[in-house]
Amino acid sequence: MSKTKKILDACCGSRMFWFDKHNPLAIYVDKRSETVTAKDRDKIRTIEIKPDVVADFTSLPFEDNSFYIVVFDPPHLKTLGEKSWMAKKYGKLSDDWREVIEKGFNECMRVLKPNGTLVFKWNESEIKVSDVLSLIPYRPLFGHTTKAE
């Protein structure tokens, strides 16, 4: 890995998280590398998932203490059809999601430099963030949840 890469996006998908989708300081990782087309309501949509490194966030191919910032935006939905647009776009949680998310957090913390920053994003539409945070010994410094009304 180049020493110029200071930021890791551990599950980048189509890089929707990013304003600059080709930030030279970042290395983008995802377990998928594909162009996907799927029907979403009445539209046909296409999305490109093109990581720099193809790897699973539960087993990252980087040395300990490698990055100043790690972005962890894992899939957060489990009740999706395999061929649905949402599953293709965001990925889908498996039945063992608790173990997968815990491993992902542990890997992100392993590659994060001391005093680095982990940016974690989660949508509570199916699983509360408190349920996710109960899986790990880390506590966020700040955050925000939005309740559906």
Can you list the domains of the chain with their CATH numbers? 7-133 (3.40.50)
Give Rg (Cα) of the chain: 15
Residue appearing with tokens 């962890």: 72
The verdict on pTM exceeding 0.75 is yes
- The residues, ordered by sequence, that sit 6+ positions from 124 with a Cβ below 8 Å of its Cβ are 76, 145, 146, 147, 148
pLDDT tens for residues 113-134?
Answer: 999 999 999 988 899 999 999 9
pLDDT tens for residues 57-76?
Answer: 999 999 999 999 999 999 99
